[in-house]
Amino acid sequence: MFEEKLLRDGKCILLAYDQGLEHGPTDFNDVNVDPTYIMDLAEKGQFNGVIFQRGIAEKYYRKESGIPLIVKLNGKTRLEKGDPISHQLCSVKEAVDLGAVAVGYTIYVGSSHEAEMFEEFSKIVEEAHDNELAVIVWMYPRGEGIADEFDKDILAYSARIALELGADIVKMKYNKNQDDLRWIVKAAGKTKVVIAGGSKLSDEELLKEVKEEIACSTCGLAIGRNIWQRNNPYEIIKKLKAIVWG
Ligand code: FBP
């Protein structure tokens, strides 16, 4: 279906680089603060896609690299207080013009602003699919309605909402419990599950987690800091590919 352009043998490793908006430059060093470095990394590492906000895509994405572009359509800073809401900042049309094959959107399930994000997202799904773009939804349970964002039932509920709302791929966090993850993947049905990387782990920890995730029939990774915060990312990329494609 629409997500096929992002998959190889049904799996993918996507390189996420929207942290400049979500977290700020504190995530970066002298090297990875430059989006050109990330574009080179995506190309040399042969990722199945690179995730940029519109501004970075406009100025740094190289279509000739052959690396599929995913444009993140909403975003927010870590500075805002209260229940999280992330509004749409870029249109599907603009993503198409930038050469995207997919768009991304974050929903904070359980936030008191959930309904606004559902509404915005539903329109995006319609428009993206009309343009044959895949839709990836970041499903992050957060806000007043959520006591524990890593609770099995809450995560499975979030994955199910992704299916109900028409997402092709759902990006989830791993709660380090394989039984829970198997159930979450089942709840997502035909919506494919990719796992976010999170803050930087040791090689051993990261590889162990990814092995566990892939064993639960997830479709792969949408990972950022655990790749581009490493001094030599190519070694870990090779190992991650060996796990994802077995
Ligand atoms: P990482 O692999 O670096 O964790 O990136 C995944 C991601 O979903 C990014 O796309 C996004 O910027 C960030 O995490 C948001 O994380 P959080 O809301 O937990 O700070």
pLDDT band at 12 (very low <50, low <70, confident <90, very high): very high
Q: What is the pLDDT of residue 201?
A: 98
How far is ligand 1, taken at its centre, from the CA of residue 198, in Å?
A: 6
Q: Model confidence at 1, in pLDDT bands (50, 70, 90)?
A: confident
**C-alpha angle 206/212/215, rounded to 5°?**
135
Q: Write out pLDDT tens, residues 129-185.
A: 999 999 999 999 999 999 999 999 999 999 999 999 999 999 999 999 999 999 999
Give distance in angstroms: CA of 9 to centre of ligand 1. 25
Measured distance CA(88)–CA(105) in Å, rounded = 8
Average confidence (pLDDT) over 210-230: 98
* Nearest atom in ligand 1 to 16's CA: 10
> Could you read off the pLDDT of 206-219 as tens digits, one per residue?
999 999 999 999 99
pLDDT digits (tens, 9 = 90+) for 97-143: 999 999 999 999 999 999 999 999 999 999 999 999 999 999 999 99
Q: Report whether 70 contacts 6 (CB < 8 A).
A: yes
Strand locations in 78-210 (E): 100-107, 134-139, 169-172, 192-196
Q: What are phi and psi of 101, to 5 degrees?
A: -105, -10
Contact 20, 9 (CB under 8 A): no
Whole-number Å distance, alpha carbon 182 to ligand 1 midpoint, is 22
Residue nearest to atom 6 of ligand 1 (CA): 196
**Cα 226–chain centre separation:** 13
225 Cβ partners below 8 Å, 6+ apart? 19, 27, 197, 198, 199, 200
**CB of 19 closer than 6 A to ligand 1?**
yes
Handedness of CA 129, 131, 136, 141 (dihedral sign): negative
Task: Give the CATH number of the domain where residue 36 resides.
Answer: 3.20.20.70
Whether 223 is in the pocket of ligand 1, judged by its Cβ within 6 Å, is yes
In our burial notation (b when 16+ CB lie closer than 10 A, e otherwise), range 227-238 reads: bbbbeebeebbe
**pLDDT tens profile 24-46:** 999 999 999 999 999 999 999 99
For residue 172, list its beta bridge partners.
Answer: 195
Pairwise CA distance, residues 193 & 11, whole Å: 10
Q: How confident is the model at residue 10 (pLDDT cuts 50, 70, 90)?
A: very high
Q: How far is the CA of 196 from the centre of ligand 1 (A)?
A: 7
Among protein residues, the one whose CA lies closest to atom 12 of ligand 1: 19
pLDDT at 87 over 90: yes
What is the pLDDT at residue 7? 98
Burial class (CB in 10 A: 0-12, 13-18, 19+), 157: middle
Report pLDDT for 27: 97
Tens of pLDDT along 45-79? 999 999 999 999 999 999 999 999 999 999 999 99
Q: Is the CB of 20 under 6 A from ligand 1?
A: no
Structural domain boundaries, residue 37: 2-244
Angle between helices 233-244 and 203-214 (to 10 degrees): 20
The verdict on whether 157 is a catalytic residue reads no
Count of the separate structural domains present in the chain: 1
15 lines ligand 1 (CB under 6 A): no
Question: Are 174 and 199 in contact, with CB atoms under 8 Å apart?
Answer: no
Catalytic residue among 140, 173, 234, 238: 140
What local confidence, expressed as pLDDT, does residue 217 receive? 98
Any atom of ligand 1 within 6 Å of the Cβ of 198: yes
pLDDT band at 228 (very low <50, low <70, confident <90, very high): very high
User: Which token pair is 24?
Assistant: 């700020």
Question: In whole numbers, what is the pLDDT of the chain averaged over residues?
Answer: 98
Q: Which of 72, 105, 108, 171 is catalytic?
A: 171
Whether 140 is catalytic: yes
The percentage of the chain sitting over the pLDDT mark of 90, rounded to a whole number, equals 100
DSSP calls for 8-53:
BTTBEEEEE--HHHHT-GGG--TTTTSHHHHHHHHHHTT-SEEEEE
